[in-house]
Chains A and B, each alone.
Chain A
Amino acid sequence: MSREEILKKVNEIFWDVFDDESIVVTEETTAADIEDWDSLTHITLISEVEDEFGFTFAMKDVLGMKNVGEMLDIIEEQI
């Protein structure tokens, strides 16, 4: 799967988690850019990504990822 395809799927997960189809995520998107992206929705987001791509994030990555680009790096590495 290409990075663009992963980003597209991740974007759809964001729509689902935040109930907002107007969200457009980029590699640089951070929690500060999306109003409802707090510590709790972060965990929901992580769980949805795990279900979609079929792997489990290490806690080090859950706590350490700074933006969507870093999330994509981990997904690319795991699938």
Chain B
Amino acid sequence: MSLVSFWFFVFLAVSLTVYYIIPGKCQWVMLLAISLSFYALAGTPWTAVYLFLTVAAIWAGSNYIDRIRGNSGKAKAVLIVCLIVALAPLVVLKYSNFFLSSAKMVCGIFGGGQSIKMVNFVASLGVSFYTLQAVGYLVDVYWGTSKPQKSIWKTALFVCYFPQMISGPISRYHQLEDQLYAPHKFEYQRVCFGLQRILIGLIKKLVVAENIAVYANDIFDESANYSGLFLCIGLAVYVIQLYMDFSGCMDIVLGASECFGVYLPENFDRPFHSRSIQEFWKRWHITLGQWLQDYIMYPILRSKLWKKMTKSLKASLGKKVSKSVPTYLAMMILWFYMGLWHGGAWHFVAEGIWFGAVIIVGQLLDNLFKKWKAFFHIDSEGKWWHGFQSARTAVIYAVGVLFFRASTVGRAVHYVKACLMPASFMPGVFIGQLRTFLAPLDFYDFLKSGISVTLGMAVLAVLFVFQAKGHSVYEWLASRNIVVRWAILYFLLFFVILFGMYGPEYDAAQFIYGGF
């Protein structure tokens, strides 16, 4: 059951009705029942066994660790065992073929590996998201930043809460514990705000992302026919599609959750306003970046091995090297995993390594950049400089996304090479490629898509202006008189109905981040 399907909205309406009819004390039980029903309807129900394995491991582990807190060695051993059990479904189901194909590749160099066969496992829905959330909770209890949840059913609700389960955001236990289990009275305005946010998500997904996807797919599928400027535009179009798809998905998820009285953490904060790629990753998929920092980066940097490395580098190569080298190594591990998290394939890993390398090179050249800025009298806080930095960040991000979108590293590299062919930037070549692209298209469909995307982006631009000024568009709407308010809402609703791509003849693609 897709989050943009008719049946999802029927499911949401029925769930909300039951949720607000029953006594407040029973609401969390109902929420768990709703979440498990959603899982059964949306995925392969039998894969729930993996989900229960993860829930049982973190529930038992967190409570036992709390009981033996005084014995740090034993607590650490329990943590490691429970982490292995909780992570096993993710590692085995999602990465078996990655390890096997990598082993086959290495053996192939020495003339062997023919006997290595790929496996065909079915991963449980949202395994990459809920596993990270579950692991974060267990580690929090070990660190003492969260208290363990005594009830296994409440622990299960934290892991399986249906709006966020299949595509995030990756929440922390302390963010949800007071909300998930508490009774919620029906509040008209809160439900309205939630539904309005879903509407915005539908504009992003069905009107903009889906209309763009058709053409972005055409360009990527037939990329051998194009080069230069045309491929650069194709990449820019895909970046817009990805942003609209993922942030639209988050609007639907956060809006649906808000209807139940549960506010999930934000996953986006105007990422294309970022001045560096480091800042970009603090504004794009925020909860994943925060998770990787807290549960991968920090433990590595605070490990005995890293501290020993820092001390030995300080003694042999000086303070500066001892501060930077261990940090850069830890960063590369983080970015390696960031890439691998997206999927078990080397092109995903290449994406992560690209971002890590750009950040490290940027830091190494920081002093040189400062000198250049001083030499050219560049005002660091000026609007033009900010605009240039944001554009540069977007280009760096787009190159990384290319590795994400391409099916192999070789194809991504080929795409970059084709983008950089100087002769292909000549107007004549570009027009020729544009004709090749337009030739098989239906003019009416192309025109409709163009109008849909333009109008959709115009509507969303208004929303971005509100966000940039720190205002809530939903509160602004609520303060209008009833005629204006409903006129705007009906306009947006009919806008989705008229310009969105959906319906029985059209199978709306899954969310790009829904498959992880």
Give me the interface of A with B, judged by CB distance under 8 Å. Answer: 16-17, 39-40, 43-44, 46-47, 58-60, 62-64
- Taken together as a complex, chains A and B put the C-alpha atoms of A62 and B297 apart, in Å, by 13
Known contacts A43-B301, A43-B302, A47-B307: A58-B143 contact under CB 8 Å = yes
- Taken together as a complex, chains A and B put the C-alpha atoms of A39 and B298 apart, in Å, by 9
Residues in B neighbouring A44, C-beta threshold 8 A = 323, 327
A59 touches B302 (CB 8 A): yes
B144 touches A60 (CB 8 A): yes
Query: Which 3 interchain pairs have the tightest Cβ spacing?
Result: A59-B143, A60-B144, A43-B301
A60 touches B327 (CB 8 A): no
- Taken together as a complex, chains A and B put the C-alpha atoms of A47 and B326 apart, in Å, by 12
B323 touches A60 (CB 8 A): no
B302 touches A40 (CB 8 A): no
A59 touches B145 (CB 8 A): yes
Residues in B neighbouring A43, C-beta threshold 8 A = 297-298, 301-302
Task: Apart from A43-B302, A63-B145, list 12 A-B contacts with CB within 8 A.
Answer: A16-B319, A17-B323, A43-B298, A43-B301, A44-B323, A47-B307, A58-B144, A60-B143, A60-B144, A62-B302, A63-B294, A64-B145
Q: How far is the CB of A51 from chain B (nearest CB, A)?
A: 8
B128 in the interface, Cβ–Cβ < 8 Å? Answer: no
Residues in B neighbouring A64, C-beta threshold 8 A = 145
Chain B residue with minimal CB distance to A42?
B298
- Taken together as a complex, chains A and B put the C-alpha atoms of A46 and B331 apart, in Å, by 18
Give me the interface of B with A, judged by CB distance under 8 Å. Answer: 143-145, 293-294, 297-298, 301-302, 307, 310, 319, 323, 327, 331
Chain A residue with minimal CB distance to B294?
A63
Known contacts A44-B327, A58-B144, A59-B302: A39-B293 contact under CB 8 Å = yes
B145 touches A60 (CB 8 A): yes
Residues in B neighbouring A47, C-beta threshold 8 A = 301-302, 307, 310
- Taken together as a complex, chains A and B put the C-alpha atoms of A38 and B473 apart, in Å, by 31
Chain A residue with minimal CB distance to B144?
A60
Residues in B neighbouring A16, C-beta threshold 8 A = 319
B143 touches A63 (CB 8 A): yes
- Taken together as a complex, chains A and B put the C-alpha atoms of A43 and B143 apart, in Å, by 16
Chain A residue with minimal CB distance to B142?
A59
Chain A residue with minimal CB distance to B327?
A40
Q: How far is the CB of B131 from chain A (nearest CB, A)?
A: 21
